[in-house]
């Protein structure tokens, strides 16, 4: 094939025509091999070759390159349409079922097309057709794509990214950030989600949307996922030792489908738990709904093993294709996380809603998902803050990820945002002495939040955190006083002293 291609390319200058290479790959051929056996697979390849030959002209050349890949060479091509027309004919030719013994099977081809002239080398033209074929596969299979220069640049960029990703694992360039999830009713944090970021030495933080798909495709996701699990457990252990809050807060770690299918997953997690010596209920493993609902014996066995480890399990992306009754393990409904671009989903519901009251309610929840404070949203819709919180609570009965505090915290940020016992004692003393809060006025949630920011150096502390600490130290604010008041009155301080004792 390479010799024929080289000869054809050399003749293009004299004929003032192009040649076209069609690179075919049979979609899901592995399924046939796995289900019917390799003999049936070989029989299918012979039958496919016969059908391809029926579509070709006498001067065209077809060859099986390797496995389930075929290459077709056509010469004297005047325009691209001749190559795409052949691709469409080949696709139609393969649509009828193939008889393998007493079994009818169907196959579809993904086809990449590359046109070349005398300035191209045979191996370059084959490479370009191969790139176009993979683009067709990634675009949904059973289709064709014609190579263009942009594909070449993207392929080179992908190779560069893969190389850098492998180096990043060796150099430990990944970082874990912890996104708080809060209860709308109280503003309290009920857990953190571990988010992996790649701290590229030149590009800065790289979004997981850019490197996670590549990591899954190349198998590097196992090494990255193992590192994220170990790092998250190490951080949980560190927070446990520091006792930053009265009730330890769990950390959720996402498992990709590829990670979940690894046969040694439960054993690896058990080793990490033993190594870090954390309370196992503080680790929550989130798996996608499609994985959780797949009733494959291996999946069920893995779920049972993870449950036996004592860790929590949660379904990520809940609601994208199954109902709760479809759960294969009751434990999988422990916690649900809806993450399908929450703000976009809420915006869509808001814009489609016809009822004016419903539109107002959805507007509130949507704007809060974008990070606006309770006070800001209440001002927009004209409701009281209490009623705004109640409506939001009804729409999101358990909690909204990141709502109210949109920062992704690095490991040190949580320590700064949570006051230790000494910090709480300092706050209690300030309240007992009647010290004015930042900006004057009376102590309340926002004032305490500002006080924590000044004391701990946090970038932003949500007002709900301030209310939380007022409750912790036993202080209940009374009716607001004028903004020029220097301190709480004597009766208020006396009542606080009784509570604090």
Give pLDDT tens digits for 20-64. Answer: 999 999 998 988 988 889 899 999 999 999 999 999 988 899 999
pLDDT of residue 350: 54
Do residues 104 and 82 make contact, with C-beta atoms less than 8 angstroms apart? Answer: no
Query: pLDDT at position 288, please?
Result: 75
Question: Would you put residue 494 in left (φ > 0), alpha (ψ -120 to 50) or beta?
Answer: alpha
pLDDT digits (tens, 9 = 90+) for 133-164: 999 998 889 999 999 989 988 888 889 999 99
Categorise residue 482: left if φ over 0, alpha if ψ from -120 to 50, beta otherwise: beta
Nearest of 272, 296, 275 to residue 285 by alpha carbon: 272
Q: Are 71 and 56 in contact (CB under 8 A)?
A: no
Predicted pLDDT of residue 458: 61
Residue 328: band (very low, low, confident or very high) from pLDDT cuts 50, 70, 90: very low
Higher pLDDT, 25 or 409: 25
Q: Tell me the β-bridge partners of 196.
A: 176
CA dihedral 48, 54, 57, 61 (to 10 degrees): 20
Residue 442, sorted as left (phi over 0), alpha (psi -120 to 50) or beta, turns out to be beta
Of 100-109, 196-205, 389-398, the range with the lowest mean pLDDT is 389-398
Q: CB under 8 Å, gap of 24 or more: what pairs does 268-276 form?
A: 268/226, 268/229, 269/229, 269/306, 269/309, 269/311, 270/309, 272/226, 272/229, 272/230, 272/233, 273/233, 273/309, 273/311, 275/230, 275/233, 276/230, 276/233, 276/234, 276/236, 276/237
**How large is the average pLDDT for residues 254-280?**
90
Confidence of residue 253 (pLDDT cuts 50, 70, 90): very high
Those residues with Cβ within 8 angstroms of residue 372's Cβ, 6 or more apart along the chain or in another chain: none
Share of the chain above pLDDT 70, in %: 67
Token pair in block for residue 18: 């192009």
**394 contacts: CB under 8 Å, gap ≥ 6:** none
For residue 220, the SS3 value is coil
Q: State the pLDDT confidence band at 493, using cuts at 50, 70 and 90.
A: very low
310: left (phi over 0), alpha (psi -120 to 50) or beta: left
The listed range with the strongest mean pLDDT (328-332, 336-340, 408-412, 484-488) is: 408-412
Neighbours of 295 (CB within 10 A): 9
Paired residues of 25 in beta bridges: 69, 110
Asked if pLDDT for residue 386 goes beyond 70, the answer is: no
Q: Among the listed ranges 34-48, 93-107, 321-335, 422-436, which one has the minimum average pLDDT value?
A: 321-335
* pLDDT class of 361 with cuts at 50, 70, 90: low
For 211-258, list the strands marked E by DSSP: 251-255
Q: Please state, rounded to an integer, the average pLDDT across all residues of the chain.
A: 76
Q: Which single residue is written with the structure tokens 């560190």?
A: 238
Q: Are strands 189-200 and 174-182 parallel, antiparallel or unpaired?
A: antiparallel
Q: Judging by DSSP bridges, how do beta strands 69-77 and 174-182 pair with one another?
A: unpaired
| Alpha-carbon gap, residue 379 to 376, rounded angstroms | 5
Among 22-26, 165-169, 399-403, the minimum mean pLDDT is found in 399-403
In terms of Cα–Cα distance, which of 479, 463, 465 is closest to 377?
463
**Strand, coil or helix: 118:** coil
Cα–Cα distance between 440 and 472 in angstroms, integer?
A: 22
Cα gap 159→399, rounded to integer Å: 41
User: What pLDDT sits at residue 69?
Assistant: 94
**415-463 per-position pLDDT tens digit:** 444 556 667 777 777 777 778 777 777 777 777 877 877 776 665 666 6
- Can you tell me the mean pLDDT for 263-282? 92
For tokens 């770690």, what's the residue? 253
């Amino acid at each position: 094939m390479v010799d024929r291609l080289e000869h054809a390319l050399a003749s293009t200058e004299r004929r003032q025509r192009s040649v076209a290479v069609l690179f075919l790959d049979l979609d899901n051929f592995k399924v046939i091999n796995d289900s019917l056996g390799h003999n049936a697979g070989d029989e299918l390849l012979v039958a496919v070759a016969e059908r391809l030959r029926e579509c070709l002209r006498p001067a065209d050349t077809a060859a099986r390159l390797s496995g389930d890949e075929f290459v077709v060479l056509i010469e004297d091509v005047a325009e691209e349409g001749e190559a795409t027309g052949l691709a469409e004919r080949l696709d139609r030719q393969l649509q009828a079922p193939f008889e393998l013994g007493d079994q009818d099977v169907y196959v579809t081809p993904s086809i990449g097309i590359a046109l070349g002239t005398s300035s191209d080398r045979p191996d370059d033209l084959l490479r370009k057709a191969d790139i176009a074929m993979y683009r067709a596969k990634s675009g949904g299979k059973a289709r064709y794509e014609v190579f263009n220069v942009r594909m070449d640049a993207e392929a080179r960029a992908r190779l560069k990214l893969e190389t850098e990703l492998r180096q990043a694992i060796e150099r430990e360039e990944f970082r874990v950030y912890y996104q708080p999830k809060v209860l709308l009713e109280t503003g309290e944090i009920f857990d953190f989600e571990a988010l992996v970021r790649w701290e590229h030495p030149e590009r800065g933080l790289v979004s997981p949307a850019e490197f996670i798909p590549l990591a899954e495709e190349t198998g590097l996701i196992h090494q990255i996922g193992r590192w994220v699990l170990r790092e998250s457990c190490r951080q949980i252990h560190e927070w446990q030792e520091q006792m930053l809050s009265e009730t330890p807060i769990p950390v959720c770690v996402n498992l990709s489908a590829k990670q979940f299918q690894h046969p040694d997953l439960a054993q690896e997690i058990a080793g990490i738990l033993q190594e870090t010596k954390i309370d196992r209920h503080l680790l929550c493993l989130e798996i996608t709904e499609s994985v959780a609902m797949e009733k494959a014996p291996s999946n069920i066995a893995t779920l049972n093993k993870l449950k036996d480890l004592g860790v929590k399990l949660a379904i990520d992306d809940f609601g994208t294709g199954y109902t709760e009754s479809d759960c294969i393990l009751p434990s999988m409904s422990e916690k649900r996380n809806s993450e399908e671009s929450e703000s976009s989903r809420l915006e869509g519901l808001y814009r489609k809603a016809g009822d004016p009251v419903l539109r107002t309610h959805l507007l509130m929840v949507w704007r809060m998902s974008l990070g606006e404070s309770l006070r800001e949203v209440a001002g927009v819709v004209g409701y009281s803050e209490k009623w705004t919180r109640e409506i939001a609570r009804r729409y999101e009965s358990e909690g909204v990820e990141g709502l109210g505090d949109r920062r992704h915290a690095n490991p040190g940020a949580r320590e700064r945002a949570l006051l230790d016992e000494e910090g709480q004692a300092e706050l209690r003393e300030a309240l007992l002495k009647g010290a004015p809060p930042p900006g004057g006025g009376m102590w309340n949630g926002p004032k305490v939040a500002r006080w924590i920011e000044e004391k701990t150096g946090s970038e932003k502390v949500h007002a709900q955190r301030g209310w939380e600490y007022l409750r912790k130290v036993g202080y209940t604010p009374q009716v607001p006083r004028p903004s020029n008041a220097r301190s709480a009155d004597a009766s208020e301080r006396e009542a606080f002293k009784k509570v604090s004792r």
